[in-house]
Each structure stands twice: as structure tokens, then as C-alpha cells.
Amino acid sequence: MQRPGTGKTAAFSFIKECMAMNPRILCLDYFDYQKNIKEILCQTNGKLIVVDNADILLDDDTRKYVSQDDENQYLLIGRNPKNLFATKENLFELVSKKVGEQTEFMIRIEKCQRQEETISGEE
């Protein structure tokens, strides 16, 4: 369970900005809740698909589709990984800390002896 206030949605917004320049990225969030997300995913090939609030936005049928889709890569962001068909090997924790005027985001990788990769973004 990821706690609130760690920067998940901020990190998502940085990736969403990259989507404007990179057609191989597709971002979905709460603004897409009225769309048929599974249909969008079924029509998408060769992309990094990033879903913010995936634990809320994706229904069980779509979650199952995502777990079996070998045409795309997924980054599912949410507070509760339950029912996302994820294993311990592909669950990571986003950690953030303020450094001056910037916020640093680290992905804590439990399986790799808590190695942290840093993604920096300005606030």
C-alpha cells in the first residue's frame, strides 16, 4: 500500500509531459474514467502505458487484460496493488524528498537490496 503525498501523481504528470513529445507513451488518469479503457488498451501496440490511480480506474476485466498483454509495457500507479495481478518481483515503492527547490523521486526496489534510482523533477 503506497501512502498519499509521496508524489505519485506528480511523477505521473512529468511522464505525461513527455507523452506530448514521444508518441510511444500513453498516459491515462482520472480524466479518462468515462472512456472505455480496455478498448483503448486493446487498440494500442508498442507503447509504454502509464495509468495513474490504476487501483481505482481499472476494473477487474481490464486488470486481467493488462496482466496478459505482451504488446505493451505498463506502469501502474496506485495506492493499493491488490487485484492488479502484480507479483513481488514487479512491485516498487515511489519515495520522494525535497532538496532545495527540487523534489527528488526514487523508486525503491526491494528485490535489488533496496537500490534506488533517482528521477529528478522541479516543483
Cα separation, 77 vs 14, whole angstroms: 13
Which pLDDT value is given to residue 19?
87
Averaged pLDDT of the chain: 79
- Residue 111: is its pLDDT beyond 70? no
Which pLDDT value is given to residue 26?
95
Q: What percent of the chain has pLDDT over 90?
A: 33
Cα separation, 14 vs 85, whole angstroms: 26
pTM score > 0.75 for this model?
no
Residue reference for cell 537490496: 113
The 10s digit of each residue's pLDDT in 62-105 is: 999 998 999 999 988 887 777 767 767 777 777 777 888 887 77
Residue 51: which of 23, 21, 84, 83 has the closest Cα?
Answer: 84
